């Protein structure tokens, strides 16, 4: 028999019974549920499922913890020899090691924990070898910089790098970013070069895909390719086969329609990266392109255009127009509630009292059971009270 | 089983609907996937919340659960109820996240490790009683907490819980009894 159905012995048990009953009525955040749906709606079948890779924490953390416990014990037993270096400085020893003149192999567990926060730089005549998660490795040539992007992918910022990627588990891909491009592989050896105005890729073994937004080019063994860093679109890029075969020219292919879910999501991801790197115009262009497609990615892009306009480009009126356009196009869209809220918040922020109140009333009428109801009602009250 | 919970164990209607839904999904009916999500997303969100997954991780947790459900539905043999199977996936994932959080908490004790920010309460969660309940549930061991949540909040029967947790029904009863006792004790301590 359920506790809540018992005759409770005292006030505490009565309170617990009632609170557990109240916990049964928790509905969760409606907008959060819609966001999750937007992400899983277009799941492709089988091995192509876009599962987020969990941050590899357990094993490296356990190893690190055991080592750390030993180090702490030693340090506390010998206080006089305790280092004065700050915790942050201690973490940043890695690049100093990695940028030594001799090639250095960094253990994978160290790479996964420390390196993503710390770019590896090589100077003149220096080389570095860095182990990456998933058994991959990269050799950095002289005068090169390797860092990690917002998606924790290795990013060649400058110079030349040769990657060796073992065959990845089904459903997973290894990706490297270089300028505005994302190089996606299953298992291969390839070189990436980033100059002042060009990114180049040469494939030693296997197959590589180079993505920019929703456009991609597929390179096979022996191919080399180069594309410009600046400019939004690179309609035609050179593709030079290895010696002995004829020269071909090919373009990045518009892949929004070609693939089910991945490429459009790649474009969304690229847009988010562009935004995080302070390139809101690029982000907006990618989102605009993506929003012209179909499916959940297009819907997400149509919604996110508003966020870029408001938060990245500081054009709140244009943002409201973008969200209104989203509502018109996706009247029953999964992000409809979020778009409604965003419009309301933005109108309140720019001081458009009448429009904000009208939006608030419409929201309360449309979502009578929303968990954001109180929040919207308070916002409406604040707008009403504003001079 | 409370009426709010679509993951019911005693209702034949939803059970038959679940079977039909799985069949439709297997036959390529994409609308069935949406219906399934609408039916189980609230229980999954509620369940992972009650198991202590912080608000900022709930979306990702729910996403991972449904990706696993999507992957497994074609090979779902129907030996357990669909709801039990989904709870089992969610329970396994919430346990995994819990272990990661405990590991992070442990690492945060190390002198050079940057402390993790304290999890913020869910802004959508207004009731202070429910927040207090979460604090009390956090004092239970993960296994006791899961039993209590599945029984008292999710409304599963003991046999179903045993199926979700992979332990004998008597163990479920035992954990439930201890969990209730510890919860009352913790609540009384706070009340005084």
CATH class of B12-191: mainly alpha
Owning domain of residue A74: 53-84
Chain-chain contact of A72 with B63 (C-beta, under 8 angstroms): no
In order, the DSSP letters of B101-116 are HHHHHHHHTSTTSPPP
Q: pLDDT tens digits for A21-61? A: 888 877 666 777 877 887 777 666 544 444 444 455 566 67
Spell out which residues of chain A touch residue B34, defining contact as CB-CB under 8 Å.
37, 41
Q: What is the largest CA-CA distance in chain B?
A: 59
Chain-chain contact of B107 with A25 (C-beta, under 8 angstroms): no
Q: Do A103 and A234 belong together in one domain?
A: yes
Q: Tell me whether A278 touches chain B (CB under 8 Å).
A: no
Spell out which residues of chain A touch residue B5, defining contact as CB-CB under 8 Å.
24
The domain ranges of chain B are 12-191
Spell out which residues of chain B touch residue A169, defining contact as CB-CB under 8 Å.
none
Domain harbouring A141, CATH code: 2.60.120.1440
Question: Has residue A71 got a pLDDT over 50?
Answer: yes
Spell out which residues of chain A touch residue B37, defining contact as CB-CB under 8 Å.
37, 40
The pLDDT value given to residue B14: 63
Q: Do A198 and A71 belong together in one domain?
A: no
The pLDDT value given to residue A190: 87
Q: Do A159 and A204 belong together in one domain?
A: yes
Residue that terminates a domain, selected from A203, A231, A254: A254
Rounded CA-CA distance B106/A191 in Å is 40
| Total domain count, chain A | 3
Please count the residue pairs, one from chain A and one from chain B, whose beta carbons lie less than 8 angstroms apart.
128
Q: Which of A1, A14, A30, A33 to mutate to test the interface with B (most CBs of B within 10 A)?
A: A33
Tokens representing A61? 């953390």
Q: What is the largest CA-CA distance in chain A?
A: 89
Of B17, B23, B172, nearest to B91 (Cα)? B172
Q: Do A322 and A369 belong together in one domain?
A: yes
Closest alpha carbon within chain B to A39: B63
Beta strand spans in chain A (E) = 120-121, 128-131, 137-140, 145-148, 154-165, 174-178, 181-185, 188-194, 198-205, 208-212, 215-219, 224-228, 237-240, 248-250, 253-254
The pLDDT value given to residue A210: 81
Contacts of B83 by beta carbon, 8 Å cutoff, 6+ apart? B6, B7, B8, B9, B14, B18, B40, B43, B160
Q: Do A184 and A274 belong together in one domain?
A: no
Tokens representing B114? 């940057």
Q: pLDDT tens digits for A87-122? A: 322 222 233 233 323 333 332 232 333 344 578 888
Question: Has residue A217 got a pLDDT over 80?
Answer: no
Of A343, A263, A357, A267, nearest to A307 (Cα)? A343
The pLDDT value given to residue A386: 63
Q: Do A333 and A238 belong together in one domain?
A: no
Q: Which of A15, A19, A25, A26 to mutate to test the interface with B (most CBs of B within 10 A)?
A: A26
Q: Do A116 and A239 belong together in one domain?
A: yes
Closest alpha carbon within chain A to B113: A87
Q: Do A108 and A178 belong together in one domain?
A: yes
Q: Do A125 and A238 belong together in one domain?
A: yes
Whether residue A22 lies inside any domain: the answer is: no
Domain harbouring A369, CATH code: 1.25.40.10
Residue that terminates a domain, selected from A204, A231, A254: A254
Tokens representing A3? 């506790």
Q: Residues, chain B, total? A: 192
Nearest Cα of chain A lies from the Cα of B108 at a distance, in angstroms, of 10
In this structure, are strands A208-212 and A181-185 parallel, antiparallel, or unpaired? Answer: antiparallel
Q: How far is CA B31 from CA A295, A296, A331, B23, B25, in A?
A: 14, 14, 18, 12, 8
Chain-chain contact of A22 with B127 (C-beta, under 8 angstroms): yes
Rounded CA-CA distance A128/A91 in Å is 19
Q: Tell me whether A91 touches chain B (CB under 8 Å).
A: yes
Chain-chain contact of B64 with A65 (C-beta, under 8 angstroms): no
Rounded CA-CA distance A86/A80 in Å is 16
Spell out which residues of chain A touch residue B180, defining contact as CB-CB under 8 Å.
3
Please list the pLDDT of chain B residue by residue as tens digits (192 residues): 343 444 444 444 567 778 888 888 888 887 888 888 888 998 999 999 899 888 878 888 898 899 889 888 888 877 788 999 999 999 999 888 888 877 777 776 666 555 555 555 554 444 577 888 888 999 999 999 999 999 999 988 899 999 899 899 999 999 999 999 999 998 888 776
Mean pLDDT for the stretch of residues A199-221: 76
Chain-chain contact of B45 with A39 (C-beta, under 8 angstroms): no
Q: Tell me whether A68 touches chain B (CB under 8 Å).
A: yes
Record the pTM: 0.44
pLDDT-derived band of residue A236, with 50, 70 and 90 as boundaries?
A: very low
Q: Do A303 and A209 belong together in one domain?
A: no
Whether residue A297 lies inside any domain: the answer is: yes
Q: Do A136 and A63 belong together in one domain?
A: no
Residue that terminates a domain, selected from A223, A254, A285: A254
Of residues A9 and B60, the one with the higher pLDDT is B60
DSSP single-letter state for residue A81:
G
Q: Tell me whether A12 touches chain B (CB under 8 Å).
A: yes
ipTM: 0.79
Spell out which residues of chain B touch residue A26, defining contact as CB-CB under 8 Å.
45-46, 49-50, 125, 130
Instruction: Kindly report the backbone phi and psi dihedral angles of residue A200, in degrees, each rounded to the nearest multiple of 5, phi listed first.
Output: -125, 150
Whether residue A33 lies inside any domain: the answer is: no
Rounded CA-CA distance B66/B62 in Å is 6
Q: Do A146 and A204 belong together in one domain?
A: yes
């Amino acid at each position: 028999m359920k506790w809540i159905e018992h005759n409770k012995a005292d006030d505490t048990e009565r309170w617990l019974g009632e609170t557990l009953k109240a916990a049964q009525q928790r509905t969760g955040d409606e907008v959060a549920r819609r966001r999750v749906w937007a992400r899983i709606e277009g799941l492709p079948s089988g091995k192509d499922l876009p599962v987020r890779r969990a941050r590899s924490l357990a094993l490296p953390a356990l190893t690190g913890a055991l080592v750390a416990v030993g180090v702490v014990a030693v340090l506390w037993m010998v206080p006089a020899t305790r280092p004065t270096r700050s915790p942050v400085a201690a973490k940043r020893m890695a690049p100093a090691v990695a940028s030594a003149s001799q090639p250095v192999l960094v253990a994978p567990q160290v790479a996964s924990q420390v390196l993503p926060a710390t770019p590896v730089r090589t100077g003149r005549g220096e080389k570095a070898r860095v182990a990456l998660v998933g058994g991959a490795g990269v050799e950095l040539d002289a005068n090169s910089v390797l860092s990690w992007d917002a998606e924790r992918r290795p990013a060649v910022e400058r110079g030349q790098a040769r990657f060796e990627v073992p065959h990845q588990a089904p459903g997973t891909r290894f990706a490297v970013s270089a300028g505005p491009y994302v190089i996606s592989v299953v298992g291969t050896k390839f070189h990436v070069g980033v100059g002042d105005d060009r990114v180049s890729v040469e494939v030693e073994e296997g197959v590589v895909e180079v993505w920019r937004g929703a456009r991609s080019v597929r390179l096979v063994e022996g191919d080399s390719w180069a594309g410009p860093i600046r400019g939004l679109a690179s309609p035609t890029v050179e593709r030079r086969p290895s010696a002995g075969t004829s020269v071909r020219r090919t373009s990045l292919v518009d892949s929004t329609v070609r693939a089910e879910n991945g490429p459009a999501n790649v474009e969304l991801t690229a847009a988010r990266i562009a935004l995080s790197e302070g390139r809101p115009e690029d982000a907006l262009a990618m989102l605009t392109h993506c929003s012209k497609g179909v499916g959940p990615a297009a819907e997400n892009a149509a919604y996110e255009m508003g966020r870029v306009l408001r938060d990245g480009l500081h054009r709140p009126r244009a943002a409201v127009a973008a969200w209104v356009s989203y509502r018109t196009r996706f009247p029953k869209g999964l992000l409809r509630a979020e778009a409604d809220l965003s419009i309301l918040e933005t109108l309140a922020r720019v001081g458009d009292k009448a429009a904000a109140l009208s939006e608030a009333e419409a929201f309360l009428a449309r979502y009578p059971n929303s968990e954001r109801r109180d929040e919207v009602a308070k916002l409406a009250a604040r707008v009403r009270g504003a001079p | 089983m409370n009426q709010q919970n679509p993951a019911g164990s005693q209702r034949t209607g939803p059970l038959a609907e679940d079977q039909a839904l799985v069949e439709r999904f297997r036959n390529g009916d994409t609308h069935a996937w949406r219906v399934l999500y609408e039916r189980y997303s609230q229980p999954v969100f509620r369940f992972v919340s009650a198991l202590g997954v912080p608000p900022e991780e709930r979306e990702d947790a729910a996403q991972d659960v449904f990706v696993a459900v999507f992957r497994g539905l074609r090979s779902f043999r129907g030996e357990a109820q669909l709801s039990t199977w989904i709870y089992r996936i969610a329970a396994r994932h919430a346990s995994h996240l819990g272990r990661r959080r405990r590991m992070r908490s442990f690492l945060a004790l190390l002198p050079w490790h940057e402390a993790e920010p304290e999890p913020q309460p869910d802004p959508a969660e207004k009731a202070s009683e429910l927040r207090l309940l979460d604090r009390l549930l956090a004092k239970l061991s993960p296994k006791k907490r899961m039993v209590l949540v599945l029984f008292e909040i999710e409304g599963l029967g003991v046999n179903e819980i045993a199926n979700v947790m992979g332990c004998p029904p008597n163990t479920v009863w035992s954990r439930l009894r201890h969990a209730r006792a510890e919860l009352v004790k913790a609540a009384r301590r706070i009340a005084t």
